[in-house]
Every structure is written in structure tokens, then in C-alpha cells.
Amino acid sequence: MVGTAIELDLMELGFKDPSMLDRPIEAVMGPILETIGVGEPLESVTRRLGTTPALLVLADGRPRGVITASDVLRFLSNNAPN
């Protein structure tokens, strides 16, 4: 990992300066995502997502996915008791 490309950040850059759309992605990437292990409890994930847009999920030290607050909300809404 060398950085992140967050959709809203990229859109904001494009609206502020349309010439940014011609630049290579590495020139407009943000910092590397914070990491979290696959075994971390959901409470820890939600707490950490309060301060970062997304987390890189690691298993055995290798990237396995990215999780966002929207992912957690979707999971909770799909698994809410009726």
C-alpha cells in the first residue's frame, strides 16, 4: 500500500481544480489506511471508523479487504432483529 483514493476526496479535488483529473492517481492519493485484524470485534471497528474513512482489514499480515462505516451500517441493517 502506498496511499488511498477516497471517492469524496477525489470528487472535491476535481471540483476545486478540474486540471487534477489529468494527473496520475498517485499524485492525488491520500495517506495509507489504518489497519485492523480480521479477528477484531465489531465494536472496535465502529469506534475506529469514527476517526477514519475506512480500515484496511488484514489476515496473517496480508490485506483481505477494506471496510467503511457504510459497510457496517449495511451489515447491521441486514442483521437487525425484526
Domain boundaries, the chain: 1-32, 33-82
**pLDDT digit of tens for each residue in the chain (82 aa)?**
788 888 888 899 999 999 988 999 988 888 889 999 999 999 999 999 999 889 999 999 999 999 999 999 998 899 888 7
Helices and strands of the chain, counted as H and E runs: 3, 3
What pLDDT is attached to residue 66? 93
Q: End-to-end alpha-carbon separation of the chain, Å?
A: 41
What pLDDT is attached to residue 39? 95
76-82 contacts: CB < 8 A, separation 24 or more? Answer: none
Task: Note the CATH number of domain 33-82.
Answer: 3.10.580.10
The candidate with the shortest Cα–Cα distance to 68, out of 24, 25, 15, 8, is: 8
The candidate with the shortest Cα–Cα distance to 28, out of 12, 7, 8, 5, is: 5
What pLDDT is attached to residue 48? 95
Q: What's the grid cell of residue 42?
A: 465489531
Which residue intervals of 34-68 are DSSP H helices?
42-48
What pLDDT is attached to residue 74? 92
Query: Taking the mean position of all CA atoms in its chain, how far away is CA 14?
Result: 19
What pLDDT is attached to residue 58? 96
What pLDDT is attached to residue 76? 87
